[in-house]
Chains A and B, each alone.
Chain A
Amino acid sequence: MSASPIARQATQSQSIPASKSIVIQDANQMPADYSSTPGGTLYSTTPGGTRIVYERAFLMNLRNSPISQTPPKNLPSIPTNLLKSTAPVSISSIKTANPLIKDVIDDASEQFEMDM
């Protein structure tokens, strides 16, 4: 297995995912501290400082990312009557199930229908 996503992130250069754009008309509108960006910083807060703001479209886009498709971390503690009946129960049950049933693909198409 290659480096973890975090390690890879550290060794490659890439742009910061943008959630919003702020138009600056005057130097006074710039934040006072170096570690802040106008309108709030994505990845960090500074003392007394920035707010992590995500626009609707940005959050909606994250819905389709691979980590968002994985089962919630404490799945067993969630009452089963609150879980979608189509939700994949666990990895092992998918492997033993009929290989023709492709849960992952089914899920994906459902997501796209929901997307607006």
Chain B
Amino acid sequence: MHKQQQRNRGRVVTTTDAQGCQRGSDRFRAPSAISEVEKMEPEASNLEEFPPELLIKHPLQHTWTLWYYEPEHSKVWQDRQREVTSFDTAEDFWSLYNHMKQASELRIGNDYSMFKQGIQPMWEDDANKHGGRWLINLDRKQRLTELDRFWLETLLCMIGEGFNAYSDDVCGAVVNIRMKQDKIAVWTANASNQSSVMEIGRKLKERLRIPPSIIIGYQAHKDNKNKPGSVIKNIYTI
């Protein structure tokens, strides 16, 4: 009996006087070693539990490019725009979004931009030069309450072609993190195409759940370009 006990104990614990302590740690070590093995296996079998439509990436209508702007004084403006990466499926969008900082976590003076592939986030680009932007200004409190939600809703609306037929006129969107006032803007291709601009503005306001009492404005890029720093007139409001 006593011998048996000894042997049993010997199997679990190595031996020695500090039995309680040793046994405890051995017990702990044994299951954790097993769980480590299990942890590697289920990764494969877990995936099989998901319905196949979740394992197949959903293609987007367009390939989108994420840009990042950092105000490095040693560089001219164009070079401060950095192309981060491009994606063309909903899942690739999410894996990017899930791993990157939220807009509200960026440093003051920085921007994220997301544009259709081939369009640079600047007025001078051929796709933008006749266009303009719907502009949403956010006060400092809204950086914590609204900014990230507005930005995500804007991105989802763009990649999901939420502006329907007018989606072709959407070039991209920019979020500016600034000391006084953050901004989100949706850039469209043609400022003189009133029906398209208005429909995009209406949809944007609806998707962002901006109350009707808040009026947002649309400005032509050329007006911005000609009078940098001054107050730009809105050519449309909604």
Contact = CB atoms under 8 A, between A and B. Distances in A.
Interface string B7-51: 000000000000000000000000010011001000010111011
B85 A74 contact: yes
Interface string B149-164: 0000100110111101
Interface string B94-114: 111111110001100000000
Contacts of B85: 72, 74, 77-78
Contact of B90 (A40, A43, A54, A78): A54
Contacts of A84: 99-101, 105
Given A1-B44, A84-B100, A99-B32, A51 B84 contact: no
Given A63-B98, A65-B54, A78-B85, A43 B36 contact: no
B94 A63 contact: yes
B100 A17 contact: no
A59 B101 contact: no
Q: How large is the interface on A (under 10, 10 to 19, 20 to 34, 35 or more residues)?
A: 35 or more
Given A74-B85, A78-B85, A6 B56 contact: yes
Interface string A44-87: 01000001111110111011011111111111011100111001
Given A51-B161, A71-B95, A72-B96, A5 B101 contact: no
Contacts of A51: 61, 161, 164-165, 167
A13 B159 CA distance: 28
Contacts of B92: 72-73
Contact of B156 (A43, A60, A67): A60
Contact of B50 (A1, A40, A66, A111): A66
Contacts of A92: none
B159 A54 contact: yes
Nearest to A102: B39
A7 B218 CA distance: 48
Contacts of A58: 160
Contact of B162 (A56, A65, A78, A83): A56
Contacts of B36: 99
B82 interface: yes
B212 interface: no
Interface of A: 1-2, 5-6, 8-9, 12, 14, 17, 40, 42-43, 45, 51-56, 58-60, 62-63, 65-75, 77-79, 82-84, 87, 99, 107, 111
7 contacts: A2-B48, A17-B53, A52-B60, A53-B160, A54-B161, A56-B162, A62-B91
